[in-house]
Amino acid sequence: MDDMKGGYLITKYLIELGHKNIHGIFKADDVQGQARHKGYVRALQEAGMLYDPDSVTWFYTEDREVKPRETISGAIQAETPMDAVVCYNDQVAVEVIRTLREFGKKVPRDVSVTGFDNSLLAKNNHIPITTISHPQDKLGSMAAELLLRLILGEELTEQELHIRVEPEIVVRDSTWKR
């Protein structure tokens, strides 16, 4: 999966909707989180928007349930300008939406929220989440097919061994045009 491109696409989408204060919440202890962050930064830079490190939250696996909630709560209490949040994944997006609602913020009218993975959480949340598709079934079947070819002794090229799946935006109800 091209995680950097996914982070770029979802951030660019929010920019195209007119968002100016886009916060990011990314996982620090895996490559996907770092790549998604790079895409976020690239989209901001391409749009001529300044990157503000204070608008980015990094979390680790062990604090994934607490850190995003604390960050959003703190930003709201400090009255930090925020009209959109790019989340590491759909699970984080659900927590962000829950926290925003607890503080009386309406998603997407007050703050747009995006996820990543196109999981069942995104589809079945009370506010269906705009997300990046992460076709895990497709990736799994592609990996199994490559493994079978290797077991059968087929010679594979570098290109056949390194397949990159293109991310796609799945637009749902958690984003709003400004």
Domains of the chain with bracketed CATH: 3-134+166-170 (3.40.50.2300)
Contact call for residues 82 and 58 (beta carbons, < 8 A): no
33-78 pLDDT per residue, tens: 999 999 999 999 999 999 999 999 999 999 998 999 999 999 999 9
Interstrand relation of 131-132 and 169-170 (parallel, antiparallel or unpaired): antiparallel
CA proximity to 42, closest of 84, 9, 82:
9
Note the pLDDT of residue 142.
78
Note the pLDDT of residue 176.
96
Amino acid identity, position 35: A
CA-angle at 80, arms to 74 and 81, nearest 5°: 140
| Cα distance between residue 155 and residue 120, in whole Å | 38
Amino acid identity, position 2: D
What pTM, to 2 d.p., does this model score?
0.88
Mapping DSSP to helix (H, G, I), strand (E, B) and coil, where does residue 76 land?
Answer: helix
Q: Which long-range contacts (CB under 8 A, 24 or more apart) does 136-140 make?
A: 138/165, 139/1, 139/165
| Cα distance between residue 101 and residue 123, in whole Å | 18
Looking at residue 89, what DSSP letter applies? S
Note the pLDDT of residue 164.
76
Note the pLDDT of residue 161.
78
Task: Give every residue of the chain whose pLDDT is below 70, as ranges.
Answer: 135-136
